[in-house]
A and B are shown apart, each in its own frame.
Chain A
Amino acid sequence: MEAFVSLAHGLTIAIEPMNLLFALIGVLLGTAVGVLPGIGPALTVALLLPITFKLDPGGSIIMFAGIYYGGMYGGSTTAILINTPGESASMATALEGNKMAKAGRGGPALATSAIGSFVAGTIATLGLAFLAPYLVDLAVKFGPEDYFALMCVAFVTVSATFGDSPVRGLTSLFIGLALGLVGIDILTGQSRLAYGVPELFDGIEVTTLAVGLFAVGEALYVASRRHIHEEKLEPVRGSLWMTKEDWKRSWKPWLRGTALGFPIGALPAGGAEIPTFLSYSAEKRLSKHPEEFGHGAIEGVAGPEAANNASAAGTLVPLLTLGLPTSATAAMMLAGFQQYGLNPGPLLFAERPDLVWGLIASLFIANTMLLVLNLPLVGLWVRLLAIPQPWLYAGILVFATMGTIAANPSPVELMMLAGFGILGFLMRRFDYPIAPVVVGLILGPIAESQLRRALSISLGDPMVLLQSPFSATLLTIALIALILPFALKGMGRFKAVED
């Protein structure tokens, strides 16, 4: 009950005209930088910090939160329209979203992602308001062995991104896992497969790989096929808006995506990518139209996009309750709090309730603003696809290159982008799925370091993996997910005999 009163009070703070203005500036900026690959919300907040130093703390923190939420929206727009995920968390959205856009269904794809983000953001913000203190107690109990078990679940389910051939899918996954080994091993501090190149010491940047494989690879592939047969892109086919059928197929994925995104985002090492993959594979399994996956299934956009936004709200749980920044943007927001002498953590709720609840309430407002802002833009965005293909893809190349340089100003990074572009081209040419490569790069290092940490803490006893209740449950889920498809197949055969 107390939380309700506080939240209502927070709303009165958030709807002060000045704070509304800050929220609006925040979401506008956030959407803009989310669209550009490379320039993420973290850098934007960093640039704004010195300017906001003299402003009212409440207003500027509300603005930062607007940037954060806005960035999550913007990233999916480029993923859907031009197959260039603005950040790695939008990768799963690109898989189906871009296929939809190419089939003239860009409008519904953008709409389901905007509405899904709104639904997920709102539910997750409610979760943040009412569950944060309980959730955080659970989150810190989540140890390395539990993360490893979560990765096992993720590995079992990524097969959903494999396309039609498991062998090709596994090949792609192993390329990703191999790439994940590059760089300094976090547990021993020794470099692996870096060949003395300083840029490789921190490992391969996920966005460089994703943009290279998705955007550059696609541009090369389209260019190579041009004289054979020209793919006609129709910006709009059928309705620009979501049909009744689209709504029916979207609402459940939105909710499921939220249920995955929020708790995993609240974990100190959870991140936004894992729930998007889990959501994608869950939707593929549960969909009534699994055959549409890989050719533009709306569930595959609705679910991951909701998961992405819910995890953004989840990240604020450890930030506000523990002072734990679990993403680059959260780290910048922490710096923002600190420049006003505020220390997020167990005492912040008690010391500055007006600020915390004002922030939480403004998240609802930012979310609503984003929806109002983005829906009318859908019609404008899809016109992008009417640009003649050579221009569009040339633009994508410029965009991808600029983004990479902005994030990591180094020639080595550019060469990697080009290299991954060629890899992406070859994989398309020989019909290998590209998503598992990125999945391998993201999951591999986490799984490895968490397993080694768990064993290091248990002094080498592997039983630690079964002793933790979280870990034991998750490993069981992974096992079931592994066996179930075979079991179902067997049952299906059984049924067929009965008929």
Chain B
Amino acid sequence: MIHTRKALWRGAIAVAAVAGFVTSAAAQMELKIMAPAAPGGGWDQTARSMQQALTQSGLAKSAQVTNVPGAGGSVGIAQFVNNGKGDGNQLMVMGYVMVGALLTNKSPVTLDQTTPIARLTAEYEALVVPADSPIKNAKDLAAAVKADPAKVTWAGGSAGGVDHIAAALFAKEAGADPTKINYIPFSGGGEALAAILGGKVTVGISGYGEFESQIKAGKLRLIGITSATKLPGIEGASLKDQGINLEIANWRAVVAPPGITADQKKALTEVVDKMAKSKEWTELLKAKGWDDSYLSGDAFTKYLADDQVRTKDVLMSVGLVKS
């Protein structure tokens, strides 16, 4: 009781403190951050975490989050590029899923039309099997996939998304035909997780965070993670350490509208740079369990361009994109 009241007071003081900051730094930016997805998803949470970090650290006077859901971000990016042209106060959260979605949806608007600002977070993919599965490690899975790719059923997120791409790359590395994989897309993480727990499919693939509590409870067995080496705090080897050359991360980033001036781009990059170093942002990353993979400037621009080419190759090899 006393504890609760104290917490509330602390909250009230924090709110007051934020309000104080805002008035004292009136000259700062008023940002609009678009999350091209419905409330609740990863992009929305990233946008709202940015909002929180930017306003609480006093880097921005205000930050308003808007949701424009639809088709892996295809609807959002179209609005962002058309309405935001030349506006140096707008940002849009995006990620690896959008790269694939724009390709499979044959979107008329592409990421080349946006102004890349920075990559913020990354989450590695985890491959899991039910606890009673005969598959013990990545080698076993590779052998099963090689023997008959159709018999190994994969449960993951939407078709053409990062889970699907990782599954296809795994089959390729295992020496099987990636177009033959039996990948079953589920909407939302929950449904796929239920199918894996219920033993309906051979293997599940998704971001590590989705499986974490089930792995710790011993209901799922982690057989590999798509990072370069073993990650601290995760009990389980990477696929690379098990001899399967597969490295892929589901990253999230922010971009600005097209047609902004070099000065505007510089100002936005600076704000995001500072935010990424702020105490508030680091705390949020820790609370959400996101890996910091900060990359800005030209390095990020190049990364984005390279990843688009790589993704297109993979999607073509799986048959999801024709040309």
Interface residues of A (CB under 8 A from B): 16-19, 42-43, 45-46, 49-56, 58-59, 139-144, 184-191, 196, 198-199, 201-202, 268-269, 318, 322-326, 328, 331-332, 334-335, 338-341, 343-348, 408-410, 453, 456-457, 459
Contact = CB atoms under 8 A, between A and B. Distances in A.
A268 B197 CA distance: 12
A29 to B, nearest CB: 15
Cβ-closest 7 pairs across A and B: A189-B159, A345-B213, A201-B71, A46-B39, A331-B40, A56-B7, A346-B217
B38 interface: yes
B4 A409 contact: no
A189 to B, nearest CB: 3
B158 A186 contact: yes
Contacts of B78: 198
A283 to B, nearest CB: 29
Interface string B158-185: 1110001000000000000000001011
Interface in B103-158: 104-108, 150-151, 153, 158
B243 interface: no
A332 B39 contact: yes
B262 interface: no
A201 B11 contact: no
B274 interface: no
Nearest to A411: B79
Given A186-B159, A199-B70, A459-B151, A344 B198 contact: no
Given A142-B194, A348-B213, A457-B201, 15 more contacts: A16-B4, A42-B38, A46-B44, A54-B10, A55-B8, A184-B159, A196-B108, A323-B213, A323-B214, A334-B40, A345-B217, A408-B68, A409-B66, A456-B182, A459-B151
B75 interface: yes
Interface residues of B, number: 69
A51 B56 CA distance: 11
Given A269-B191, A410-B79, A186 B185 contact: yes
B309 interface: no
A46 B40 contact: yes
Contacts of A18: 1, 4-5, 8
Nearest to B74: A198
A322 B320 CA distance: 32
A142 B200 CA distance: 9
B86 interface: no
A201 B153 CA distance: 26
Given A55-B11, A143-B198, A189-B185, A322 B214 contact: yes
Given A140-B194, A143-B198, A269-B191, A184 B105 contact: yes
B51 interface: yes
Contacts of B45: 335
Contacts of A453: 184, 186
Contacts of A457: 153, 182, 184, 200-201
B1 A16 contact: yes
Nearest to B198: A140
A331 B68 CA distance: 17
Contact of A339 (B74, B214, B287): B287
Given A143-B195, A189-B159, A189-B160, A338 B70 contact: no
B190 A144 contact: no
B52 A50 contact: yes
B216 interface: yes
B56 to A, nearest CB: 9
A328 B195 contact: no
A345 B219 CA distance: 11
B158 A43 contact: no
A408 B69 contact: yes
B193 interface: yes
Contacts of B212: 343
Contacts of A187: 159, 184-185
B176 to A, nearest CB: 16
A91 B41 CA distance: 26
B288 interface: yes
9 contacts: A46-B40, A55-B8, A139-B194, A140-B198, A184-B71, A202-B71, A348-B213, A408-B70, A453-B186
Contact of B75 (A19, A343, A410, A456): A410
A335 B5 CA distance: 23
B101 to A, nearest CB: 9
A46 B41 CA distance: 10
A345 B211 CA distance: 10
Contacts of A185: 159
Contacts of B201: 457
A237 B213 CA distance: 56
Nearest to B10: A54
Nearest to A40: B39
A42 B40 contact: yes
A409 B68 contact: yes
B271 interface: no
B38 A328 contact: yes
Contacts of A19: 4
Given A18-B8, A198-B74, A201-B105, A50 B39 contact: no
A324 B70 contact: no
Nearest to B194: A268
Contacts of A408: 68-70
Given A323-B213, A456-B153, A142 B106 contact: no
B20 interface: no
B199 to A, nearest CB: 8
B187 A189 contact: no
A456 B66 CA distance: 38
Contacts of A188: 159
Contact of B14 (A54, A141, A348): A54
Nearest to B321: A189
Interface string B26-63: 00000000000011110011001001100000000000
Nearest to B77: A198
Contacts of A325: 40, 188-190
Contacts of A331: 40-41, 188
Contacts of B191: 268-269, 326
